[in-house]
Amino acid sequence: MNTGLLLLVVTIATALTFDFLNGFHDAANSIATVVSTRVLTPRKAVLLAAVCNFIAAWLLGTAVAKTIGKGMIRLEDVTQFVVIAGLAGAIVWDLLTWWWGLPTSSSHALIGGYAGAAMARHALHRGFGTAFSVIIPEGWTKTLIFIVFAPLIGLTLALLFTSASYWLMRKAAPQTVDTLFRRLQLFSAAAYSIGHGGNDAQKTMGIIAGALYTAGYMTQHDVGGDWGKYHWPIILAAHAAIAAGTYFGGWRIVRTMGSKITKLKPIGGFCAESAGALTLFVTAKAGIPVSTTHTITGAIIGVGAVHRLSAVRWGVARRIVWAWVLTIPASALVAGMLFGVIRLLHPGA
């Protein structure tokens, strides 16, 4: 095996490791509500989420992957070392926030790390004043806008769904409401898990396509097109990795998402998951790489706010928002530093 091919294998393995950790870190997004309402046991919930993450490979297309692969960083400034450093920066941030129990965005850690490594390489080659020239503004504009919009859309839809559900069931006995929404929550949890797998796995797919481009196996047209003969291998590998990560789960974050933000009943869990799923389906088809974490957190807050604003534990929510704000710059900084280390070890990087 020649050096270039070996480096490509290492890059793809690192990408799939990140994808696994993405599923592990974001397992709470898919299962926190259905576990906290006691509709499913944790074991059954993670199995449902993992299966739905994988099924998403056939349902939500590749629009987000093409945005990540070609629409955010100039491909001519990407090398295998940039991809490895970017992925490593995202992995480090994900592990730190997992340890702290914060539901931050693996998606934003990935794009932050990817950008940070590319900027570091360009700065070291052509001067620090040129670092931002690697950025493609169009791709970043919609991503940064939806850092705010995704949780707001989730919150608004959850408010509407919860209000409508309470109005429709206003004359029903509490036990009848509970029984009905326990059953419905199985469908909403499955739908959200499909949205989670379809959106998040695509980001890794885009990174793998970029790695294949830098190794000479794909053209720029391929990265933004149908990926040719690599189409299904990329899709299935990414979805299998995130499904496996989801199955093994991230229980520290489940506790924060499922109980610390607001207390949930099955009707609230159904509305939060439905709002999150609808948001993710629409953005995935539109090619907008939103955060599944931000989306479901906004939806859970929306459910709590229906009762009264004090039902939401705003202290926890503030910690989460600060983690969101820091994710892109923190992962970019870590990735940039890691690329600097790689450059010291391999001057041609």
Tell me the one-letter amino acid at 179.
T
pLDDT digits (tens, 9 = 90+) for 159-186: 999 999 999 999 999 999 999 999 999 9
- Calculate mean pLDDT across residues 285-314: 78
Residue labelled with tokens 């992957």: 65
Q: Which segments within 221-265 are labelled E, that is strand?
A: none
Helix (H, G, I), strand (E, B) or coil at 265: coil
CA distance 313 to 102: 14
Q: How many other CB atoms are found less than 10 A from the CB of residue 251? A: 16
Asked if pLDDT for residue 36 goes beyond 90, the answer is: no
- Provide the pLDDT confidence category of residue 230 given band limits of 50, 70 and 90: confident
Asked if pLDDT for residue 323 goes beyond 80, the answer is: no
pLDDT digits (tens, 9 = 90+) for 54-81: 999 999 888 998 888 888 999 888 899 9
pLDDT of residue 316: 54
Residues with Cβ within 8 Å of 330's Cβ and at least 6 positions away in sequence, in order, are 93, 112
pLDDT digits (tens, 9 = 90+) for 199-221: 899 999 999 998 898 888 888 77
Residues β-bridged to residue 73: 135
What value does the mean pLDDT of the chain take? 85
pLDDT digits (tens, 9 = 90+) for 85-107: 999 999 898 888 778 766 677 88
- Provide the pLDDT confidence category of residue 9 given band limits of 50, 70 and 90: very high
pLDDT of residue 269: 87
Asked if pLDDT for residue 347 goes beyond 60, the answer is: yes
The domain limits of the chain are: 3-345
The region of weakest confidence among 103-112, 142-151, 259-268, 315-324 is: 315-324
pLDDT of residue 258: 46
Q: Please give the torsion angle defined by the CA atoms of residues 71, 73, 77 and 80, in that order, rounded to the nearest 10 degrees.
A: -90
pLDDT of residue 236: 94
CA distance 258 to 182: 15
- Provide the pLDDT confidence category of residue 318 given band limits of 50, 70 and 90: low
Asked if pLDDT for residue 313 goes beyond 70, the answer is: no
> What percentage of the chain exceeds 70 in pLDDT?
87
CA distance 99 to 250: 10
Cβ atoms of 124 and 348 within 8 Å: the answer is no
> What percentage of the chain exceeds 90 in pLDDT?
41
Tell me the one-letter amino acid at 326.
L
Burial of 265 (C-beta count, 10 Å sphere; 0-12/13-18/19+): middle
pLDDT digits (tens, 9 = 90+) for 112-164: 999 999 999 999 988 888 889 999 998 898 888 888 899 899 999 999 999 99
- Calculate mean pLDDT across residues 268-284: 93
Q: How many other CB atoms are found less than 10 A from the CB of residue 169? A: 15
DSSP label at 215?
T
